[in-house]
């Protein structure tokens, strides 16, 4: 009877231990990044809360160390790591975004070609029973950054990364000018359009200037004509004296012509009459 009870206890113990085994889960196992970009390695872990000794006594566990390493399959002991919670040496390129309870996400900034490796997470408890390394890891592949360089007037350079895949690619770097790939033709069209628009505006202003000038000239001539047409000739005494030179010349010529002819025709008639009268009387 006692043997059966012991078997039941040990079976129940094994079931509990199997249900509470520590685990590490990588949301992705492969990823690709462009040189100079930032990459996230999402990760979660479940620590072992306790374990049972051979005498059946339960021993609680607590996570005391978390670390990320590359190249090494287990990351134990003094293996070089990119992040170690127990180390005072921190790599600014690698930032641990997780905690000691269940989040083990790692961020890699400004990734380089030499960072192309398989990264693995390891957790360590205050007893060997709580240590675990998921050897699957996350393999990171790094591609060279295809850049297009544009030299500005201030000798500055623009570097623009070509996006590929679903990873985040940061395209800094220094310049006030941003040029996208395959935009040279579009830029030429934009410049041509701007120049054409400026020319059209200039032509429109010139045409408007000449139109306004012509209208002002026409208005001036019309006003001058109306002023001449509205002149009133004077009346009353002395009005005949206020004539122009042309009128005076014509009148004088007419009068002169009328005074000459009649005097020549009448002179012989008068002489004949006087002579006849004298002869008759004698």
Q: What is the DSSP string of 82-127?
A: EEETT-S---TTEEE---SSSB--EEE-S--GGG-SEEEEEEEESS
* Alpha-carbon gap, residue 170 to 26, rounded angstroms: 24
Give residue 206's pLDDT: 93
**pLDDT over threshold 70, residue 212:** yes
How remote is the C-alpha of 282 from its chain's centroid? 137
Burial zone of 138 (CB within 10 Å; 0-12 exposed, 13-18 middle, 19+ buried):
buried
Give residue 227's pLDDT: 65
Confidence of residue 220 (pLDDT cuts 50, 70, 90): confident
Give residue 92's pLDDT: 93
Domains in the chain: ranges and CATH = 22-50+57-143 (2.60.40.10)
Q: Going by DSSP bridges, is the β-strand pair 50-52/30-34 parallel, antiparallel, or unpaired?
A: unpaired
Confidence of residue 104 (pLDDT cuts 50, 70, 90): very high
Q: Going by DSSP bridges, is the β-strand pair 138-143/132-133 parallel, antiparallel, or unpaired?
A: unpaired
Confidence of residue 280 (pLDDT cuts 50, 70, 90): very low
CB 192 within 8 A of CB 172: no
When pLDDT is averaged across residues 225-252 and rounded to a whole number, the result is: 51
Q: For 113-126, write each residue's pLDDT tens digit.
A: 999 999 999 999 99
Q: What is the DSSP string of 46-85?
A: E---EEE-TTS-EEE--EEEEEEEES-SS--TT--EEEET
* Alpha-carbon gap, residue 98 to 107, rounded angstroms: 10
How far CA 275 is from CA of 25, 265, 266, 281, in Å, comes to 167, 17, 15, 10
Q: Which of the listed ranges 8-17, 73-82, 224-233 does the model predict with the highest average pLDDT?
A: 73-82
* Alpha-carbon gap, residue 153 to 164, rounded angstroms: 30
């Amino acid at each position: 009877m006692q043997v059966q009870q012991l078997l039941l206890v040990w079976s129940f113990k094994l079931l509990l231990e199997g249900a509470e085994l520590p685990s590490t889960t990588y949301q992705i196992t492969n990823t690709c990044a462009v040189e100079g970009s930032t990459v996230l390695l999402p990760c979660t872990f479940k620590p072992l809360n306790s374990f049972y000794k051979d005498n059946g006594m339960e021993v609680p566990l607590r996570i005391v160390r978390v670390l990320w390493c590359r190249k090494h399959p287990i990351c134990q002991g003094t293996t070089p790591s990119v992040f170690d919670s127990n180390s005072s040496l921190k790599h600014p390129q690698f930032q641990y975004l997780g905690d000691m309870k269940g989040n083990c996400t790692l961020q890699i900034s400004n990734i380089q070609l030499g960072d192309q490796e398989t990264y693995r997470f390891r957790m360590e408890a205050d007893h060997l029973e709580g240590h675990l390394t998921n050897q699957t890891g996350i393999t990171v592949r790094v591609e060279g950054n295809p850049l297009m360089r544009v030299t500005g007037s201030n000798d500055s350079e623009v570097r623009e990364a070509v996006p590929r895949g679903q990873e985040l690619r940061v395209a800094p770097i220094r310049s006030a000018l941003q040029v996208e790939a395959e935009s040279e033709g579009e830029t030429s069209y934009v410049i041509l359009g701007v120049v054409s628009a400026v020319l059209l505006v200039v032509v429109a202003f010139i045409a408007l200037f000449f139109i306004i000038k012509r209208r002002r000239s026409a208005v001036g001539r019309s006003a001058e004509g109306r002023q001449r047409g509205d002149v009133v000739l004077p009346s009353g005494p002395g009005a005949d004296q206020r004539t122009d030179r042309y009128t005076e010349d014509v009148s004088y010529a007419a009068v002169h012509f009328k005074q000459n002819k009649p005097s020549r025709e009448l002179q012989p008639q008068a002489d004949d009459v006087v002579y006849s009268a004298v002869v008759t009387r004698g």
